[in-house]
């Protein structure tokens, strides 16, 4: 089976072509068209041991909500998107954002403790908009840009989930 793996890390993005052919107990593996001397095995759920040219690696795989895989290899982390020709997937929804308008989302689940601005207020970049509390620590959610608070969706005392929209700054 031939797969494309789009690997992303802090140092950039790369697309690798990986082919896996089952041969008795192990896989024959080619990487970008080259056969590699690699032995890969899932040693426990989501933990994969790879011996590549005699070098041993352990990779922890965590699927994330956006369909990508998070890969942890020691201190190094990658995000991987798999393109599998056998599986038809709907197009990834494009996260298009209106020019200049910023959506402020809750970075964690928690509770809105205080609103520091009102809809219609003019704010500076870095100015606090909302105070959130999670795990007993209070944190200010700051405006990423100077502008006007177009809509304020957060309400005092309300519980929010990570990713919930708190405000729009135009």
Partner 1 sequence: MFKKILIANRGEIAVRILRACRELGIKNVAVFSDVDRTAPHVRLADEAYCIGPAASRESYLRIDKLIDVARRTGCDAVHPGYGFLAENPALPRACSEAGITFIGPSAEAMEAMGAKTSGKQLARRAGVPTVPGTDEAIENPEEVQALARSMGYPILLKAVAGGGGKGMRIVAEDAAFAGAWRDAASEALNSFGDSRLFLEKYLIGPRHIEVQVFADAHGRVVSLGERECSIQRRYQKVIEEAPSPVVTPELRKKMGDAAVRLARAGRYTNAGTVEFLVDADRNFYFLEVNARLQVEHPVTEQVTGLDLVKLQIAIAAGHRLPFAWEAITPRGHAMEVRLYAEDPDNKFFPSPGKVLSRHAPTGPGIRLDEGVYEGYTVPLEYDPLLSKLIAWGNSREETIARLRRALDEYTITGIRTNVSLFRRILAEPEFLQGEFHTKWLDELLAQPSPPAIPPREGTEDASAIAAALWHTARANSAANASQDSSGAPSRWKSEGRRQQLDRTP
Quote the CA–CA distance of 142 and 18 in Å, as a whole number: 43
By rule CB under 8 A, what string of x and - marks binding of each residue 14-33 to partner 1?
x-x-x-x------x-x-x--
62 binds partner 1 (CB under 8 A): yes
Structure-block tokens of residue 65 = 């909500």
Q: Which of 46, 92, 122, 146 binds partner 1 (CB under 8 A)?
A: 46
Interaction pattern, residues 151-170, with partner 1; x per rule: CB under 8 A = --------------------
Range 77-82, long-range pairs (CB < 8 A, 24+ positions): 77/9, 78/7, 78/8, 78/9, 79/7, 79/8, 79/9, 80/5, 80/6, 80/7, 80/8, 81/5, 81/6, 81/8, 82/3, 82/4, 82/5, 82/6
Name which of 110 and 147 has its Cβ closer to partner 1: 110
Which of 103, 105, 113, 145 lies at the binding interface for partner 1 (CB under 8 A)? 113
Q: Name which of 21 and 155 has its Cβ closer to partner 1.
A: 21
Interface with partner 1 includes 89 (CB under 8 A)? no
Residue 38, interface with partner 1 (CB under 8 A)?
Answer: yes
* Contact between 121 and 148 (Cβ < 8 Å): yes
Of 23, 24, 33, 45, the residue at the interface with partner 1 (CB under 8 A) is 45
Asked if residue 127 binds partner 1 (CB under 8 A), the reply is no
Using CA atoms, how far residue 41 sits from 21, 48, 116, 159, 160, in Å, is 13, 6, 53, 42, 40
Asked if 74 is part of the footprint of partner 1 (rule: CB under 8 A), the reply reads yes
Nearer to partner 1, 42 or 170 (CB): 42
């Amino acid at each position: 089976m031939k797969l494309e793996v789009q690997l992303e890390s802090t140092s950039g993005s790369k697309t690798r072509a990986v082919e896996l052919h089952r041969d008795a107990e192990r896989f024959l593996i080619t990487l970008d068209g080259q056969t590699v001397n690699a032995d890969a095995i899932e040693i426990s759920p989501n933990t994969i041991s790879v011996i590549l040219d005699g070098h041993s690696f352990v990779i922890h795989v965590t699927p994330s909500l956006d369909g990508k895989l998070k890969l942890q290899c020691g201190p190094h982390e990658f995000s991987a998107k798999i393109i599998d020709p056998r599986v038809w997937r709907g197009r990834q929804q494009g996260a298009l954002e209106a020019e200049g308008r910023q959506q402020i989302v809750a970075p964690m689940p928690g509770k809105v403790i205080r609103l520091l601005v009102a809809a219609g207020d003019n704010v500076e970049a870095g100015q606090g908009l909302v105070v959130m509390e999670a795990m007993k620590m209070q944190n200010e959610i700051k405006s990423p840009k100077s502008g006007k608070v177009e809509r304020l969706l957060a309400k005092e005392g309300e519980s929010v989930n990570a990713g919930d929209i708190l405000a729009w700054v135009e």
